[in-house]
């Protein structure tokens, strides 16, 4: 039996209420806390659509307070047929269109397609020997004939757990072989990793924009001249903004980092570790951490700038008061002089 499942994960401004889906029971080994670590999914809408002469049920689920996932599946007679890549593209387009109608920001979303093979006997490696080029092309969404080294690299991200199953993972797709068709647990992990990647990407871009904005505020204040430094209102606003940005970003980063911790030799942990490496989640996390450190530096600069400005204002007021007192004493001396003369 053959089946493809495509999904996209994207941001949305407002998530509607939905029906909570029960977490699937693991069919392979996993930590006892896995079901609690996985974000709950709420079905908030569904519709039937025709995709390349196939009737498909599209389901939209909330994946967090500001993230949704649109998913659709098609059963196939032959997953290695020449039109499967086109079918996958049409299925993703249907998911994107449905997501846009529901208000999802699909232009920045993540997409993924899972090719599923079940009901076979023997070793799944027999499929690799016969359809290695076709499998690599589907995973790469590529129509060109791939080089043998590229095919070999594509198959390097694979995991074999049982004697008769196999998982091959690429950037936006995976091939699953399981004679019993137990794919739901793996698909949930693919969706979770895609969700993590999307959140890191969004946070990284958001931090970049905020860092640029903070630098501009500092430069604007520095270019206004000496007397403008006595006006600390803009610097104070920048100071408060950077505190808010830094606190919010650290909170989001820590939430992402603790959302799921699958450690060990369980099936779920090893699959998620492979996904993390393929999606380069550690690199994204380090980028976010580096930009949070940059915000820390800006925080220090603005704090010192604000402190110096207040000191300068105090000194200026002190000089002004002293000058006024001197004028007062001078006026009194002149008045006394005229009085006695």
Query: Alpha carbon of 327 to those of 284, 317, 318, 320, 323: distances in Å?
Result: 64, 15, 14, 11, 6
Alpha helix stretches (DSSP H) within the chain: 34-37, 84-101, 125-140, 148-154, 184-222, 233-258, 267-279, 281-340
pLDDT at 215: 73
Q: What is the pLDDT of residues 27-75, one digit of tens each?
A: 666 666 666 666 677 888 899 999 988 999 999 998 777 889 999 999 9
Q: Tell me the pairing of strands 104-117 and 173-177.
A: parallel
Q: What is the mean pLDDT of the chain?
A: 80
The residue whose two tokens read 């006997």 is 121
CA distance 44 to 59: 8
Max avg pLDDT among 3-7, 107-111, 188-192, 331-335: 3-7
Phi and psi at residue 33, to the nearest 5° = -90, 5
CA distance 38 to 15: 18
pTM of the model: 0.79
* 8 Å CB contact between 117 and 2: yes
Q: What is the dihedral of CA 255, 260, 263, 268, to 10 degrees?
A: -160
Contacts of 53 (CB under 8 A, 6+ apart): none
What average pLDDT does this structure show over 191-198? Answer: 90
* CA end-to-end distance (rounded Å), the chain: 119
Domain ranges of the chain: 2-191, 196-336
| Residue 60: other Cβ atoms inside 10 A | 24
pLDDT at 255: 65
pLDDT exceeds 80 at position 291: yes
Query: Alpha carbon of 35 to those of 5, 70, 266, 290: distances in Å?
Result: 22, 21, 14, 31
CA distance 225 to 272: 55
pLDDT exceeds 70 at position 324: no
Higher pLDDT, 305 or 120: 120
pLDDT at 230: 42
pLDDT at 273: 87
The residue whose two tokens read 């027999």 is 126
69: left (phi over 0), alpha (psi -120 to 50) or beta: beta
pLDDT at 95: 95
Residue 168 pairs with which residues in a beta bridge?
Answer: 158, 175
What average pLDDT does this structure show over 274-280? Answer: 91
pLDDT exceeds 50 at position 274: yes
* 8 Å CB contact between 206 and 251: no
Q: What is the pLDDT of residues 226-268, one digit of tens each?
A: 444 444 565 566 566 666 766 776 776 676 666 566 555 678 8
| Residue 99: other Cβ atoms inside 10 A | 22
* 8 Å CB contact between 132 and 21: no
pLDDT at 330: 65
Query: Alpha carbon of 141 to those of 8, 64, 134: distances in Å?
Result: 16, 29, 10
CA distance 312 to 318: 10
Confidence of residue 76 (pLDDT cuts 50, 70, 90): very high
Confidence of residue 212 (pLDDT cuts 50, 70, 90): confident
Q: What is the pLDDT of residues 82-121, one digit of tens each?
A: 999 999 999 999 999 999 999 999 888 999 999 999 999 9
**Pick from 164, 202, 186, 193: nearest CA to 279:** 193
Phi and psi at residue 44, to the nearest 5° = -115, 0
Max avg pLDDT among 138-147, 202-211, 240-249: 138-147
CA distance 135 to 245: 45
């Amino acid at each position: 039996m053959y089946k493809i499942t495509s999904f996209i994960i994207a941001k949305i401004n407002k998530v509607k209420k939905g029906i909570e889906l029960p977490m699937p029971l693991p069919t392979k080994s996993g930590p006892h806390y896995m079901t609690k670590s996985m974000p709950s999914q709420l079905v908030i809408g569904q519709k039937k659509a025709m995709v390349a002469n196939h009737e498909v049920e599209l389901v939209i689920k909330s994946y967090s307070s500001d993230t949704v996932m649109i998913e659709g599946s098609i059963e196939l007679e032959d997953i290695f047929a020449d039109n499967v890549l086109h079918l996958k593209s049409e299925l993703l387009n249907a998911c994107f269109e449905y997501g846009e109608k529901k208000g999802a920001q699909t232009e920045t979303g993540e997409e993924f397609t899972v090719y599923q093979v079940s009901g076979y006997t023997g070793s799944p490696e027999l499929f690799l020997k016969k359809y290695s080029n076709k499998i690599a092309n589907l995973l790469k969404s590529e129509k060109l004939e791939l080089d043998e080294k590229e095919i070999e690299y594509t198959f390097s991200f694979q995991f074999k757990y049982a004697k008769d199953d196999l998982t091959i993972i690429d950037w936006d797709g995976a091939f699953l072989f399981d004679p019993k068709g137990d794919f739901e647990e793996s698909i949930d992990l693919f969706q979770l990793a895609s969700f993590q990647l999307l959140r890191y990407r969004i946070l990284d871009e958001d931090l970049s924009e905020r860092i640029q904005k903070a630098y501009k505020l500092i430069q604007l204040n520095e270019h206004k001249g000496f007397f403008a430094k006595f006006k600390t209102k803009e610097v104070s606003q920048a100071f408060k903004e950077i505190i808010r940005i830094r606190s919010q970003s650290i909170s989001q980063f820590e939430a992402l980092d603790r959302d799921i911790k699958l450690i060990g030799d369980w099936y779920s942990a090893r699959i998620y570790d492979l996904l993390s490496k393929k999606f380069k989640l550690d690199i994204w996390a380090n980028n976010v951490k580096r930009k949070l450190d940059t915000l820390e530096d800006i925080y220090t600069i603005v704090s010192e700038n604000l402190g110096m400005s207040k000191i300068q204002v105090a000194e200026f007021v002190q000089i002004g008061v002293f000058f006024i007192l001197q004028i007062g004493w001078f006026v009194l001396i002149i008045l006394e002089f005229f009085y006695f003369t």
